[in-house]
Structure 1
């Protein structure tokens, strides 16, 4: 009987120990979940970027800034090819090295293959006598890719001209809206903003602060409101007030991709009830520093709503600027603006020639 009692006590003790271990594990899992949730909230709610007012730079001033902002990308692309080519003969080894360098710079597999096959075809026809000629041909090839997407945004002829801004959280979408609004204002246009990212209070606040500071009306509703209804109200208001440009922000949570894409489709449908030609521009904001991730984002949004333009931000400070070639080549969607810094003037209409010249600029 004693032995049976001892065995029972032993079993009870083991059961208690197991329960304690389970509780400790549950506690650990809960703490880990809380930590991850806190991190997610932090990443999903980027601090509002305070835009620096700047004096309008001269053309030369901007070109120098563009050159400076592309310094990291240029290490792998453009003038960075010079060190690769110098004193080498044109052979398979050189093409292999070039291919590797293009891939490292995030030009992407398909676009890199196109560039290499075009160059090897020229080389096999003996059209390239030395590495210098290859460098010039490479510049021409890369220029050709960007020239196709060099189509500035034309907001004339529609009142209001409605721009629907899409993109994932954290790429600089709300900041880009603010900079665009300020630039349109500087051109003498009246602007209105619609706070269609109703899921993040921070996004709505950021637009409202921006609107107050620049005397731009912002149409907003409570957190969690129907984004399509906010944007519907904004279009009605813009029409009634004769506003020139309406820019609508949208959510960018990718946790539930299909839900987000359906929501964007609904917004477009609702817009068309008020103006069958709206939105006149569906602009995707992409962060150049995300490299190949930017490609999958472009594909996702383009399939859902049919993009008409792209703004590529954060080109300064990244070595992945080569992704602009992959985006241009794969989608042939006009690149409207590039962002090369935090100032309002650092969001610039994209000009392929300027970009190529800055990229291939040889160091003095």
Structure 2
């Protein structure tokens, strides 16, 4: 099988011993996490419900190398196949170089499992047996045989030759990416010409952007148009983004690849770990989920200062390194930051029709939440003044991709 450490995959050998002597039992060794240890009950029940015999003997499963922590539920399938092979119920001599990866349900069926794309990229020139709901992720990898598995019995029938499985058809990434309709088109926004100009400059140069203005001036709507004027994802870029979403388990069942540039808009209550990534088994945070796309911070001054300060290193290095006692992982973080902020706590400083009730001290304290080093990393600062609401949007006679076509041809 395979262990995914960050965006890298490490081969894991699943060794199974069914001893004739000793008290009956089922032990998993090799720095297995709680989820892996719970596989004992899932595997045992799945084997029985699939019509096979679970040997009433002393069973020992070793996940090697033993010094690498094993996390997740993807070891269910290889453990079950190993037990059936060790008890002479399933031959695997012809599939020793194959990778088995997936979570078992109690009835023996396989559930969608995250990280399948990484498994496919690791298993170049090999065969992989993965859940049918996640198999499309690996279909874009050339040179491997992807077997979409519905249940445990289907794998055993294939290995015994009773009923061979069909290999999933390979799909070229180039066929999946390209022009798509955008959700928010800059061509549909009327007014705010200065902000629109700043957005196009940010898109062309990969700059970070901060929009200052009172509530209701269209800052959020303007920010949501940025992915629509960025160039379409290249095949290599789409694969890079999909790797991040695959290891996060955020690819829908049956989906093959991420086709659009990401747009992430976390709430201002997000934690530093949620923004940067973290956990005992570090997963990508918002900065990595926005890789090659847009990270939008609405009401930026309301974010905890610790969260904003944590953005310094990703904004500079375009990657994030998460260090834990068990090791460290790196995730890409090449995002374009777009921030929206009110000019003061009440939001109406300089508003032509509303009176600001904030004191100078309150305004200074409010703006001090965004430190100099963070503001220095934002190339473009633009004011978004108040306008009539009915002038913010207008019906466009241009097609939905008009803005992208204008700037990128």
Please give the TM-score of this superposition, normalised by the length of structure 2.
0.26
The structure with the largest strand share of the pair is 2
Higher relative contact order (CA 8 A, sep 6+): 1
The structure with the largest helix share of the pair is 1
Please give the TM-score of this superposition, normalised by the length of structure 1.
0.29
